Amino acid sequence: MAYDLVTLGEAMVRLSPPHFARLEQAASLEVQVGGGELNVAVTAARLGLSTAWVSRLTNNALGRMIAGHARLHGVDTSRMIWTDQDRVGLYFAELGAAPRASAVLYDRASSAVSKLQPGEVDWAALLAGARWFHTSGITPALSPSCAQVTREAMQAAKQAGAITSFDVNYRKKLWSPQEAGQVCSDLMQFTDVLISTEEDIDLVFSLKSDNPKHAARQLAARFDFRALAVTVRENPLVWNNTWTAVVYAAGKMYDTRTYTVEIVDRVGAGDSFSGGFIYGWLTSDGDLQRALDFGAATSALKHSVPGDLSWATREEVESLLQGAGMRIVR
């Protein structure tokens, strides 16, 4: 089948102490599943797009758990690369409260996906007729072979006629800004839509700016994008933030509403923006204002639920865009 969206990337099992406990004091851990590109595929699938997610998973209970969560939300995992070797990556999320920030501890070294090799995925077959391909800077950061596969996939997507998007998603625990800058700059030749934060634009592309709009204009002057989206978070308190985004395309800047979010869990909010943005674009013939509005509203809703994955529905997003209040829905 021809997919609306194909994503490539890692997913892990997430373990979190309940009730804001520190890892050192935890007597139990809550289990979630998530990963940047899986989160995007899930968000888009829940909104109504046909999506497929590609990764490499170990054929054990943890790998099957991850794939099962993807399928639960309607994401096709039939192109998954399975192995009886290696391991599934884990990460521990310790949720903080002001003045203690949340923290993440990774246990992902030598994971199955980090050993994904060029040529393992038949990209021409997978992307035939696909409308959009998405990945992020996390994927090439996992290993040199993953960087090669990311380039292979994005080049194949361009050749297949799909729109391509790339979320910078810089992770300092995976690589240095210099390494990220070299790899990501090369990938920009295959990128139609770039998604980032102002901070990541500075770190990865060495572009200092005084505001997100300036950052977007600077980076757009360097690379040939169809659109560049920058998400903007202000976090005066750990669990009380404001959230919005801007898009720059063809010399025009687009703004959207700023949301005040009471955070239940902020992990995956940027991915939900990407999924909502892609949905908004593909269902409105490329209307950038619609895409931006949908992306920001979808990601605002993601803050209100635990775990990495979005549980928002299209109806909830539409209702929020129409000014839904905070009264109980009865």
Whose tokens are 């000014």? That residue is 323
Return the structure tokens found at 258: 């700023």
Residues 6+ apart with CB under 8 A from 115: 56, 83, 86, 143, 145
Taking the C-alpha atoms of residue 227 and residue 192, their distance in angstroms, rounded to an integer, is 7
Residues 6+ apart with CB under 8 A from 41: 5, 7, 51, 52, 53, 70, 75, 134, 275
Residue 152: half-sphere exposure toward Cβ, Cα within 13 Å = 18
Return the structure tokens found at 71: 């399928």
CA distances from 101 to 42, 98, 146, 300, 305 (A): 27, 6, 31, 20, 18
Mapping DSSP to helix (H, G, I), strand (E, B) and coil, where does residue 70 land?
Answer: helix
Q: What is the DSSP letter of 11?
A: -
- Positions marked active-site: 271
Q: Does residue 228 contact residue 194 with C-beta atoms inside 8 Å? A: yes
